[in-house]
Amino acid sequence: MKLILVILLSILDSLPGVQIVQDSMMTVLLDEAMNGKHELVEMDGYRVQIYSSNQQQTAKSEALDLEQKLRNGISQSIYVQYLPPFWKVRLGDFRTYEEAKEYKKQFVAQYPELMGDTYIVRDKILVMQ
């Protein structure tokens, strides 16, 4: 799986007009996984969703702008996803609902203007083993 991920990222990165947007921590985690220090595993869990829109003219840029705004202000990984027809921004990799709930509480205290768009959602998460 590690090799497939590296090959896929290389191919995507070489395509004209394709920009890979990921949290800087992902680079560190992938490097550690590639060097056998840890194994990155996908499992069922929770994330805190802070944005979702299907407005084709603005949704992508709004999602990427929000990701950029939060990049240095929060400790969790930020995931910008296109799940047709919606652009979504989700935070964190929480194993339990209670962990996600606690983070959501902290997040809306820090960013109260996003409270109305903030939900806990089930998702596939990435964890180190």
State the CB neighbour count (10 A cutoff) for residue 85: 10
The residue ranking higher by pLDDT, 29 or 4, is: 29
Q: What is the chain's mean pLDDT, rounded?
A: 85
Run of H or E residues at 67 = helix 59-70
Query: How far from chain centre, in Å, is Cα 63?
Result: 11
Domain containing residue 117: 2-128
Q: Is the pTM of this model over 0.85?
A: no
Say whether pLDDT at 3 is over 60: no
Report how many domains make up the chain: 1
| 73 against 15, higher pLDDT | 73
Among the listed ranges 8-22, 88-102, 115-129, which one has the minimum average pLDDT value?
Answer: 8-22
Residue 24: pLDDT over 80: no
Contact predicate 78/67, CB 8 Å:
yes
